[in-house]
């Protein structure tokens, strides 16, 4: 079953494959290049002063809750009954 158009089919396949590769690798000069590992000008973690205040408050409340938890645990473990 040797087809006379088999080489033509392969040429068309390879040409389309190459064109898709070329189209995917075209860089648009208006868009900045995206670096996936490290961005050169990455924004700061906290952008808004309110976010910074809220995060500090959340950390303080979490630390207070952990301190209360450990205080209760120590009372329960080491207090004579």
- Rounded-to-integer distance, Cα 44 and Cα 76, Å: 43
**What is the structure's pLDDT at 28?**
60
Domain borders along the chain are: 48-81
φ, ψ for residue 44, nearest 5 deg: -65, 160
Alpha-helix residue ranges (DSSP H) falling in 6-48: 6-24
Per-residue pLDDT of 15-43, as tens digits, reads 999 999 888 877 666 666 666 776 566 56
Q: Which residues contact 37 (CB under 8 A, 6 or more apart)?
A: none
- Among 24-28, 31-35, 49-53, 69-73, the range scoring the smallest mean pLDDT is 31-35
Residue 78's pLDDT band (boundaries 50, 70, 90)?
confident
At residue 14, does pLDDT exceed 80? yes
């Amino acid at each position: 079953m040797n087809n006379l158009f088999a080489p033509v089919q392969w040429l068309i396949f390879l040409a389309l494959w190459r064109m898709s590769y070329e189209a995917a690798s075209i860089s648009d000069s208006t868009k900045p290049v995206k670096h996936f590992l490290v961005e050169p000008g990455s924004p700061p973690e906290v952008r808004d002063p309110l976010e910074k205040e809220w995060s500090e408050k959340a950390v303080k409340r979490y630390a207070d809750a952990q301190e209360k938890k450990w205080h209760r645990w120590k009372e329960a473990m080491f207090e004579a009954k």
